[in-house]
Structure 1
């Protein structure tokens, strides 16, 4: 039987520093409901979905910064986030959600740009990822009008690695994976990982631009990569001499080209589907973010793509068996390299 998975990317329009959390939650819940109406089983939301992209600001410009962070251990119970997961549970939807995480480890406050995977089947958070490739600068530019990218100032690099995981309950009749020493499943069949629950991997924004992010997941057999992002449409101070000569429209077009390039090329090279979800539009009256939420096939084709810069749900039906031809070739090449001895 084909392993069919129905997925959605939930693009968000802009959030602002003064946007009430209640308004953001209401929009996220409406997007969940819209994805459910389309038939989705899994919904991917953007990076920092619950807030504006505040790491563009200097610390002193956001005196109440703590309100933009969530305790990763209380997402399912906090009034600030619980409505999302309650609605996901009611609808039976898995959710990948990006947020700014605060934690206390070893007695020290730590902050990460994070996302979690919520499993409706388990009724719990199944996996968490912390962004590794933090872009931008540690110090703001001297020019008061410059557009900064200060994630290195606000966040610590991720420390959880690129760890793939299986998401249960999405595809019926998957092969059980518990095996004995003879390599036989508990249902009496030979083990076949390609018939099991879908293998997922998560990354955030700038991670998608680095080959190792994808390859770490590809070597673990990942079939679906989930990626939320907030990508600037215009930041000439960050981008160098050539980009400083571009118009806003030219810069935005180039950012869209590069986003589509990394999603399609890496999906093809690792023979996996990918789902990317943007926060888009102009935040806080000044800071433009590209759209481009898309779902890509293992052959590098765009199956669905957002058409607006606002709240929008895109949907696609994935046949995970489409990952097999490319993964089989990679496996054969890897074995050939292992067997080769000069």
Structure 2
């Protein structure tokens, strides 16, 4: 097993930007290709890898019946087992987007697996456009998973437009948020002069105002005529990207070496300003009314 199994801090974070396609005949090849890129990341020392939303299935379902055919149980489905085997073999942590079936309910989900098995899942809370026709809104809240490399939170795509999500994850003590995405082309303008899209800035802003690392893996390419924005990035606790922001056009792997638990002291900017301390919990609830998981100190 690679030495990365024993690398607790710093962590080499990698986000994988790839191009999965809809079609049950593509599901296994989608994941095998994503894991081939993840293997490159492992070979370059990564021990926390983030894959995009719905990386096994593609995105552009034609109807609910087709979405149903693409979904699997978590963690017993084939894709989850491949992810578990990969994480165990390489001694790494891996977040990936999976289309989940639970009885007759379908969820746009993210799974987190590690060297010793399945750690948990998150079900997308905020559904975008036609996702509302296939998927049920997530019902698990916003869990944070405590691991040897740090506390890991998960969010999916449209969630980043809702500032409550990264705030609640940070209030629970998340050191890093893995953001799994299918950021889609919308009416222009799509990119600014630097090549960043609006989702890039929302990610940067969320990292900045919560003093938390965010590793955002988006997809690229075209799926049944639907185009995707790329722009994957890894944001530091200051918000600024720690590497380049990926282009819209190509598959990519981005890396950043970070001490995740450094996020716990990052909120102290100077002797008079500390974001958690400066919040006006006398005017609004410190957890915004969220009660599913406790707040932990950072």
TM-score by length of 1: 0.72
Residues 258-294 of structure 1: per-residue CA shift (max 9 Å, x gap): 111110011010000000111111112x110110111
Residue matched to 2:163: 211
Runs of 4+ in 1 over 6 A off after TM superposition: none
Secondary structure, aligned partner of 1:214? helix
Residues 153-203 of structure 1: per-residue CA shift (max 9 Å, x gap): 1011100001212112x3xxxxxxxxxxxxxxxxxxxxxxxxxxx111100
Residue matched to 2:95: 96
Q: Give the conservation status (yes or no) of the 8 Å contact 1:31–1:311.
A: no
Q: Distance in 2 between matches of 1:303 and 1:8?
A: 11
Point out the structure with the larger helix share. Answer: 1
Q: Give the conservation status (yes or no) of the 8 Å contact 2:190–2:198.
A: no
- Equivalences for 1:142-291 in 2 at 5 Å? 150-168=130-148, 170=149, 198-234=150-186, 243=187, 246=188, 250-251=189-190, 256-284=196-224, 286-291=225-230
Q: Distance in 2 between matches of 1:154 and 1:49?
A: 17
Secondary structure, aligned partner of 2:222? strand
How many residue pairs end up in the alignment? 269
Match of residue 63, structure 2, among 54, 58, 65: 58
Residue matched to 2:37: 31
TM-score by length of 2: 0.82
| Bigger radius of gyration among the two | 1
Residue 82 of structure 1, CA deviation: 2.4
Q: Give the conservation status (yes or no) of the 8 Å contact 1:167–1:200.
A: yes
Q: Distance in 1 between matches of 2:206 and 2:257?
A: 20
Q: 1:17 to 1:219 in 2, by over 3 A?
A: same
For structure 1, the residue ranges without an aligned partner over 5 or more in a row are 137-149, 171-197, 235-242
Q: Distance in 1 between matches of 2:41 and 2:171?
A: 30
**In angstroms, what is the RMSD of aligned CA positions?**
2.4
Residue 232 of structure 1, CA deviation: 1.2
Q: 1:325 to 1:157 in 2, by over 3 A?
A: same
Secondary structure, aligned partner of 1:291? coil
Q: Give the conservation status (yes or no) of the 8 Å contact 1:28–1:84.
A: no
Residue matched to 1:189: none
Residue 308 of structure 1, CA deviation: 5.6
Q: 1:215 to 1:330 in 2, by over 3 A?
A: same
For structure 2, the residue ranges without an aligned partner over 5 or more in a row are 1-7, 269-273, 283-298
